[in-house]
Amino acid sequence: MKGNFKKHFLFYCAMKLLESLEKIKFKKIVLLHGEGFGAWCWYKTIAQLEEVGLQPTALDLTGSGIDLTDTNTVTTLAEYSKPLIKYLENLPVDEKVILVGHSSGGACLSYALEHFPEKISKAIFLCATMVSNGRRPFDVFAEELGSAERFMKESQFLIYGNGKDKPPTGFMFEKQLMKGLYFNQSPTKDVALAMVSMRSTPLGPIMEELSLTPEKYGTGRRFYIQTLEDRALSPDVQEKLVRENPPEGVFKIKGSDHCPFFSKPQSLHKILIEIVQIL
């Protein structure tokens, strides 16, 4: 009897959620990956959002995922964000989307908020680089990687696509380090997928100082999701980002590493749905 009641209750809750989401005006959600990742990393999130009637789209940023652009040629945030900009430019006039940006994908989110505020209904920063005006996305990772200047001189992870006598063009962490930094709570199958799918990250976009204005970026509705077992972007650093650049709402995922779409997909899904429903 108890089992039947539970089934009926869960079915009722699911139907209520579907009804509630049916009334949502803007159902399109654009998912932006972080450094080294691609659209592929959102496979669980996409399936869950589609199941409740939302319309997720995961984009490959320039030189990422299956985009064939040579990473070494991507030198600016504008270039890196091109697939997102193209998507927003092609939206119908009265259409808006919800953007979700992971890790350094937060810089693309901020860039889009500054250039297309009228196209974005909400911007969700997922353990992401939500930096203030005049700051570089890379600065957020200084606790783990050292200052940008030091990283550019000393790091063993740098890629010199134009030759050793020229400035570095990208970086790629060694696999064992990546496992410890990004995937300390993720299932082994997802880690294996990441190990064969991740690509180098263009350096220029994350070393660029963001130009953000109160009139454009400042009018956007921003939300931040913190990951509490994160070793790549520590909870303390995430807390600092939220303090320095306060969003409309802050959510926390317990037990999540830097990749909640792998380690805590259900918790991430619930929070995304909650934010979608905020009027």
Cite the active site residues: 103, 230, 258
Look at the chain and count its residues.
Answer: 279
Tokens of 246: 């306060």
Neighbour count for residue 113 (Cβ, 10 Å): 22
CB-side exposure of 230: number of CA atoms within 13 Å? 29
d(CA 239, CA 226) in angstroms, rounded, equals 8
d(CA 33, CA 24) in angstroms, rounded, equals 25
Sign of CA dihedral 46, 51, 54, 55: positive
Long-range contacts of 175-183 (CB under 8 A, 24+ apart): 178/36, 180/231, 181/144, 181/231, 181/232, 181/258, 182/231, 182/232, 182/257, 182/258, 182/259, 183/257, 183/258, 183/259, 183/262, 183/263
Choose among 118, 104, 130: nearest CA to 246. 130
d(CA 196, CA 194) in angstroms, rounded, equals 5
Q: How far lies 23's CA from each of 20, 106, 121, 269, in Å?
A: 6, 28, 15, 19
d(CA 163, CA 98) in angstroms, rounded, equals 40
